[in-house]
Structure formats: structure tokens, C-alpha cells
Amino acid sequence: MKLLYQLNAAFTALLIIIMSVTAFFIYSLLLDILIQDQQDELQTNGNLILNFLYEDPSGRGKLSRLIESNDYKILIMDPDQNSPLATNLPETTARSWASEFETKDEQKGLRKMNGENYVVSKLGYRFQGQEYLLILATPVEELQAIQSIFAVRMMIVFVIGIAIAILFSYLLTKRLVTPLSRLKREVKKIENRQFNEIKPVNASGEIGEVEQSVMDMAKELDQYIRSQKHFFQNASHELKTPLMTIQGYAEGVKDGVFEGEAADRSLDLIVKESDRLKKIVNEIILLAKLDSEDGIYNPVYTSVPKLFEDTKERMYFLASEKGVSLNVTVKEDRQLYVDEEKMLQALINIVGNGIRHAASEVNLRAYEANGQLVLEIEDDGDGVPEELLPQLFHRFVKGKEGETGLGLAISRAIVERSQGTIHVSNKDQGGAVFRIVFPSSASQANL
């Protein structure tokens, strides 16, 4: 069953249950309310009759006409003799009723007389030193008839109200569920990788937030699939080039095409290309492990100055060959919760990239900004080409003098595995700046 019908069925069932319980209690209380109201009315009419008697004791004929014209059952009796004095009841009924009322105290309530239920109001009064009783009654059946009429009308109102509520619920639920149905179709397109056909749902509220998350997910998934295709294309190209070189020179040596010094140079080239091929494969394997394996990354608290000094020591000879000086500046001794060897490898890749492009120096700095620890590697070269900036950390993206195109991708994977983020930008005066930012949870002061 569709969600639209499920929601409406649940709302209808809940509404019917609530309305039924409400109707039951109203119907049960209605008779009590009618009886109470009838008792008050009998009491009021009884007091009016008594006032008439007190004001005009001699008006017995008028009293008889008043009693006979009244819709209520009225009985005026002498409780000592149990004899009716005035009534609009049949004589037999009047005598039967008189025998039912033996006390002179005021009383009102439900009484069963002659097999029928009555609402009764009983009032005592004194005339010429003699005690009398005034009894007013009305059949409960009349109140039950009113109750039935009210119940029928109440049911009609309830049915109309339920119908209107269900219609309103259907329209409201349809408005709520329609964006979900549209979103479902868009998710199906994502499942089928039809990213170019995805359209916005234009929903609001929480559904709008879900829509935005789905659209962001689709965008990321599209970029990921494209990058994977790009990765495999580049990987096959990068692996194919050294393999073809190795194969060509190996066949040349085997067939005697290269002899003497030429054969030696061919073998040296085969060894060099084999090392290059081995490096590419190892870096691909490392990237795959960083993306999927947990056991390869073992974080410990590591000193930031030590990381920088170890990086400087490892890159000293390359910097010397290029005539580039390495400068380290650490404002505060901090510790990072990272895998020391992996983070050192990430810094070496970034610093090596900076040395290859620097004019005279590469600066390594560490400082705090907005409660976060920032590691900054800056060179004074020509900077990164603008068209290369958005994809510099992608796999097999190589700039000028690049090697495998995997070094910066590995650095990003290591930094992100360490809860950090990495960005690159160009300085106005020339040169590139790599910033690695770690949250406060990944660093602490070296106490």
C-alpha cells in the first residue's frame, strides 16, 4: 500500500476511534444533563405554584386550572392522610402516587412508579398550620426521546465532520507525500546513474533538507564515478607506458638489436622503468588501503616540531640539489594524534612538490587559528596554474615536473584520515601555499 493511503487510513481509523469514544461519553452524559436540567425546571415550577398558593390561598379553582393545564404530572397531597388534594393525574394513579410519598421532607430525584421511571421534585409547604406536599414529575421516556433525537443529529454532525476531516487529511497528505514520490523517482535515477536527468523537487521543510542531501549525494557520487573512470584511464596509461618501454627494450636485447653499450643502456632503462612501475603500483596500493583498510593507520600523539624537523632532514639533499633553503617556524609546541609515518610521508610529498617549483626557499609553519592547528607549506615559485587548482589533489593529475601524479592524492588521503583538511592557493606575490587544518580534537598542547 502506498504511503499516501497508509497515512490516510491511519488518520481515518484514529479519527473514528476518537469520535466514537467522544460520542459514547457525550451520549452517556446527555441523559444525566437532561435529568438534572429537568429537575431544576421542576423545582422552579414547583416554587412558582407555591408562591401562587401563598399569595392567593383562596384561589383553589385557579390552582386546579393551573395544574390541569401544566405539562408536568402534578400532585398536591396531605401526607398525614396520604390523600390527593389536587392533581392532573387519573384518580387511581394519584392515589397510588400518594401512597409512595410518606415523608414530608423535600426530595427530588428519579422514582419508579407504576412501572415507569419519572424525574420527581418533591416540595413541602405549610398552610393554616397543616403540612402539605407538592409533587411534580415528568417521564424519563420523554427525556430519552430528546436524547435519541440529539444523538441522531450528533451522529450526522460527526459523519460530516469526519468526511471533511478525511478530505482535508487526504489533500494535506497528498501535498506532503507528492514531494516524496518525486524524490523517489530522482533517487531511482541516481540508482541508474542518470545524473544528467536529475531534477529538483522544490520541497520545503525537512523534505527539502532531505532533497538537498540527496542532490549533494548525487553530485558527489557523480564526481566520484567520474574520478574513478578518470583514475582507471590514467592508471592504465601510466602503467602501460613503462610496460611498453620495458617490453620494447627487452625484446631489442633478446633479438640482438641492442649490443654492447647500447644493450647496457637498454638494461639500465629497463631497471629504471621497473622501479618507476613499482613506485606507481605501490602508491596505488597505498591509496586503496587508505580508503578502505583500518589496520593500516595507527595514530599516536606526535610532536609537530619533530614532524617538521624529520621532513626537513629527509628533504635536505633534494633541496640542496635545487638550491632551495628549508625554513621551519613553530610558534607553539603542539601534538597531533596521527600516524607519524603516514603524516611524515604526506608532508614529504607536499614539501617535495614545493622544492621542485620553488625559486629559492620553502617555508614550513605551524600556528593556531580559531582554535584549530594549521600546518602551512609555502614556496616562492610561480604557483599552481589556475586551471589545475580544483583538481590538484586528484589521482594522476600532474603539474610541471610531476612524477606519478599520486603524491598529492596520497597526502590528501592521509590528512583526511587524520581528521584534517588540506587546501592549496596561490599568493599574490607568487608561489603556492598548502594549508593543512586540524580540529582541536586532533591536537593538544605539549605539556
Cα dist. 9→2, 14, 168 in Å? Answer: 11, 9, 13
Distance CA 109, CA 118 (A): 8
Cα dist. 379→181, 407, 425, 430 in Å? Answer: 53, 17, 11, 8
Q: How would you write the pLDDT of the chain (447 residues) with one tens digit per residue?
A: 566 667 777 778 888 888 888 888 888 788 888 888 888 888 888 887 777 766 665 555 566 666 666 677 887 887 777 777 777 778 777 777 777 765 544 455 677 766 678 888 888 777 777 777 888 888 888 778 887 888 888 888 888 888 888 888 777 777 777 777 777 888 888 878 787 777 877 777 777 788 788 888 888 787 777 766 766 666 666 677 678 878 888 888 888 877 788 888 888 888 887 887 777 777 777 766 666 666 677 888 888 899 999 998 888 888 888 899 999 888 778 888 888 888 888 898 889 888 888 888 999 999 888 888 899 999 988 888 887 777 777 766 665 555 556 778 888 888 888 889 999 888 878 888 999 999 876 665 554
133, 126 in Cβ contact below 8 A?
no
Classify residue 185: in a domain, yes or no: no
Grid coordinates standing for 295?
A: 589496520
Q: Which amino acid is at 119?
A: V
Closest to 305 (Cα-Cα) out of 325, 337, 331, 326: 331
Give how many domains the chain has, as a whole number.
3
Classify residue 164: in a domain, yes or no: no
Classify residue 153: in a domain, yes or no: no
Q: Report the pLDDT value the prediction gives residue 294, as an integer from 0 to 100.
A: 63
User: What CATH number is attached to the domain comprising 84?
Assistant: 3.30.450.20
- How would you list the strands of the sheet with 73-78, edge to edge? 83-87, 73-78, 130-139, 116-127, 107-113
Question: For residues 340-375, b (16+ Cβ closer than 10 Å) or e, as one string?
Answer: bebbbbbbbbbbbbbbbbbeebbbbbbeeeeebbeb
Q: Report the pLDDT value the prediction gives residue 447, as an integer from 0 to 100.
A: 42
User: What CATH number is attached to the domain comprising 420?
Assistant: 3.30.565.10
Same-domain check for residues 284 and 366: no
Task: Answer with the one of 265, 292, 319 that is the final residue of a domain.
Answer: 292
Give strand pairing partners of 77.
84, 133
Same-domain check for residues 285 and 306: no
Same-domain check for residues 306 and 439: yes
Q: Report the pLDDT value the prediction gives residue 187, as an integer from 0 to 100.
A: 83
> By residue range, what is the domain housing residue 42?
3-146
User: What CATH number is attached to the domain comprising 251?
Assistant: 1.10.287.130
Classify residue 388: in a domain, yes or no: yes
Strand 432-438, strand 300-303: pairing: unpaired
Helices (H), 134-260: 140-191, 205-254
Distance CA 233, CA 272 (A): 23
Helices (H), 293-387: 304-314, 316-322, 340-357
